[in-house]
Structures are given as C-alpha cells and as structure tokens.
Structure 1
C-alpha cells in the first residue's frame, strides 16, 4: 500500500476493550454512594462513550447539577479504586483479534493510529500501559480534554495533530455517538457489532458498514483504502 498517510481512530470501551463489567460495577457503586438506586444495565451501557456529565444527565434526569456532579465524582472514585485495589482483578480485556489488528496496523508506515474516547486521559493511559499499547497511538483524544461525543472536537483535534486530511481518516466505534462524531467531522465511520449499540442503530446513524469481527474490520480497511485512496 502506498499513497497519503491514513489515520484510523478507535473508540475504546466497547470497541477495543470489553469493559462492561467494570463500568456497571463502578456505576452501581456511584449511585449507591449518593443514595440512589442503580440504573438498569441496558441504561448504563447505552450511555457508554459519553462524557460523565452528559452520561449522568441521561441516567439521572431528575437530579440537579450538584447531584450529577457528585455522581460523576463517585463514579471516577469507584473506577479508580477498582484498578488500584490489591487483587482487584485483571484489566478489561481486548476483544478477540483486536491486538493482532492493532499490531498489524501500527507496523504500517502509511497508517497512523489514534484514540477518541469518553474515558479520561488517566484511565486511557492506564489501559494502554497494562495492555502494552503505549507506542501504538500517536494521538489520544479524551473526554477531559474535549467536548463530549458526538461533538466532532476529538476527531478534528486528531486530524490537526497528525496532519491527515479528513478524507484519509476513518473512525471505528460501537455507538451512535462515535458514528455521529465522525460524520460531523467529515470522516468515514465503521461500526463494530460487538459493543453497546446494535448494528441497525449504527447504520442508521451513518456508519458506512458494520463489522462482526476483527478480521472483518481488517478487510473493511483494505477495501476502503483500495477503493478510495
């Protein structure tokens, strides 16, 4: 493959890693700490990818700003405690085939990798460290440095940081927030079917294709690059 630099941006939770157990546990602890009943599993997973203020606004619509802020703080504390506690368990695992795909893409000089995630930078850096991915991503866009998805700021910042044109970039994610963010920034969007929003919703939001496995995602990249670039 030759030609211009390509940029592949990945969402994290639900796309690269299966973090639903950790997210559900931390959310339950946060609501309990604030004296509230935990939201249903489906409700929690539906907001994965949003920044915490936006997520709490959806999960606790009757709460005032002060309570939502306390919920967000309690969630951060619970999530940090999970990974800091002795014997706290293994980190959220990468989905099958994603490590091999990341390694392959990172080895290609014409492909740059990045992240656009609703996680905070501290959480993302920890995840990259435990999975040995520190050198893979040349741009890391996080919720504490940008407006929440689906605002296009994360993608636009990644494009500016790498110097890649929008037509040479693709965003990979598992939620409609990822797809809408990509489309708003003028880049392609590929949905993955193993995350937190179903494939029909991803397609309706504007994903040009929805894949069911890492090998299928690899094929999608090759087809897009060969056809368009």
Structure 2
C-alpha cells in the first residue's frame, strides 16, 4: 500500500491520559488550583479544553498577568509532585515492554519529573525508557521532541534494564520512524510541527474525532493496537529478553528498577560486559606492545564481572 508507514524505531509517549488514567486524577488536582485562584475552570470539560494546546500556555491565558500565571503554574506543579499518583491504563505495561525490545522509548509530559519517576518506577517501567522529559525541566513538548531528535545517541534504547543497549545493532531513528503517542490534540499539532508522526489513543482527554482532525495518522481504541500498528508482524513475539521478565513487586530494591533486578533481567547485560572484557584481554599484550597494565585489567574485570 502506498500509505504504509515504516516500523517505528523510536516511540515517544505522553504520560497523562496515555500511559496513566488522568481524567479524574488530574482534574481533582487542578480543581483545587482553580478554587484557590478563581480561574473559572469549573468543570472537567473546561479543564480538558486547556490541553488543546500546551497546558501551561493555556493557564497563562486565564491569568490577569505573568506574575499570577507563574504562581498558578508553580502551585499546580507542587500539588502534582505531592499528591498525583494515577493508575496505569490497563494493558499498557505489557505494551511498553513489547515496544522496548524493538524501539528507543521516551516519555514527555507537562508533569513534574518527580511524578514521572514515581509513576514509572512504581510500576516497574522506569528502565524501559531511555529518555524522560518533564514539564519542570523542558518547557514544552516541541522542545522535548527537538531535543530527542538532536541527540546523537537516540538510537540507544533501554531494554527493560538499567544500562543502555550496547549490542552494536543501533538503528538511529529519523522523523519517519519516530512516533509520538498521545491523547491530546495539542500534542498532535506540536508533533506534526516538529516533523514526526503521531498516533492517538482514544482513552484519554480527547476523542477519536478530535485527534483525527488534529492530524493523528491512527487512533488506537485499545492499548494492544499500539505494538501491532507500530511494529507490524514483530509485535506478535511480545516482550523479549529482559523485557519479558515481569517485575515481582514495585520498586522493592529502591533503585528505580521496579523490582526488576532478577538474575534473568541482569544476565544479558552482564554477558555483554564480560564479552567486552574478554575481547580486550585477547587483543593484548605483545613484547612490542605491552598493552594495559595488569592493575587496569584487574579493575576492569572486577567492575564488569
């Protein structure tokens, strides 16, 4: 088919309404801000309309001046950091682990980095993502997309393990193979302006019609449609390697792995490191080239072994 898209090499997820359920949770937070500052956003539908563009830009338009806008934005982010702990969308964890085995994954959000860490680590997904852009670090999603595309290392993904993929089979994503997955029309427009593809999800803030009208090339009705659409036939294999190891409990070791520090999860990266050490040892020393000192080799072996 002439309109068939290439398989994704990089997938950038929105957080709220895409990976996590937010229609109730984030409105409950913002309603407290609305009551405190008298912004006139007195219903969930009005709140959802703020996401037709960048939410903080929309908030500025409600405020009498920049000083109030700054106070509202800071108060909103502060409450999110303290009280926002939304549930994952059902089925999303398996989708993320499936995609992580094939693509570089990133998250971008207007939310605070503290929230992103709490949500991703608490659900055992932190090490599926190679890049995370929070609203308190990156001012808007266009900037986040541009930063990701400009990163020369954006082809190195994380395969549900702490280290970045060092397999040597790096496929650097370009704009045609980089896809934003989101639930808001504003994000769709930002991604298209940045020159990348966009897939919508029907379970968030904006519906199928709004997302399609904004320019989404496809709108998933169920999470399981995402790997099928983005990977094609490769999706049938499901999660592979360390990504196939389901965390036993959320973040039990307090390292951000989500309890995914099992032997099965760490074995692949340990094997790669030991192979690298073996290659180094085999390549040395000769009388003409004595190579690295024994102390250095011993240190490398202890670190990588």
Range into which the TM-score falls when normalised by the shorter chain: 0.7 to 0.9
- 5+ long unaligned stretches in structure 1: 84-90
Which of 100, 105, 116 does residue 99 from structure 2 map onto? 105
1:147-198 CA-to-partner distances (Å, cap 9, x unmatched) read: 324xx22112112230521122111001112211221121111011111111
For 1:153 and 1:222, how far apart are their aligned partners in 2? Answer: 26
* Cα distance in 1 for residues equivalent to 2:24 and 2:136: 22
In the TM superposition, what are the counterparts of 1:104-123 in structure 2 within 5 Å?
104-106=98-100, 108=101, 110-123=102-115
Alignment match, 1:92: 86
Cα displacement (A) at 1:49: 8.2
Provide closer, same or farther for how the CA distance between residues 5 and 51 of structure 1 changes in structure 2, counting only shifts above 3 A: closer
* Distance in 2 (alpha carbons) for counterparts of 1:21 and 1:211: 21
Give the whole-Å Cα distance in 1 for the aligned partners of 2:233 and 2:204: 22
Q: What is the CA distance between 1:72 and its match in structure 2? A: 1.8
- Deviation at residue 118 of structure 1 after TM alignment: 1.4
Aligned length: 211
Q: For residues 142 and 76 of structure 1, do their structure 2 counterparts lie closer, same or farther at Cα, with a shift above 3 Å needed?
A: closer
Structure 1 counterpart of 2:174: 165
TM-score, normalization by structure 2: 0.62
Stretch moving more, 49-58 or 139-148? 49-58
For the residues of structure 2 that align with 1:174 and 1:217, how far apart are their CA atoms?
Answer: 13
* Greater RCO (Cα-Cα under 8 Å, separation 6 or more): 1
For the 8 Å contact 2:200–2:220, the answer to whether it is kept is: yes
Distance in 2 of aligned mates of 1:54 and 1:31: 16
Which consecutive unaligned segments of at least 5 residues does structure 2 have?
1-5, 156-172, 236-305
Partners of 2:95 and 2:199 in 1: how far apart? 15
Change (3 A) 1:148 1:49: farther
Residue 134 (structure 2) pairs with residue 142 (structure 1): yes
- RMSD of aligned Cα (Å): 2.6
Structure exhibiting the larger radius of gyration computed from Cα positions: 2
- The equivalent of 2:57 in structure 1 is 54
- More off after superposition, 96-105 vs 9-18: 96-105
Equivalent residue for 1:39, pick from 42, 54, 62: 42
User: Over residues 77-128 of structure 1, what are the superposed CA-to-partner deviations in whole Å (9 max), with x where a residue is unaligned?
Assistant: 3223325xxxxxxx3111121111111112x2x4111112111222212221
Does the 8 A contact of 1:13 with 1:48 survive in 2? Answer: no
SS of residue paired to 1:9:
strand
Query: Equivalent residue for 1:79?
Result: 80
Paired position in structure 2 for 1:200? 209
Moved more, 43-52 or 6-15: 43-52
Residue of structure 2 equivalent to 1:154: 144
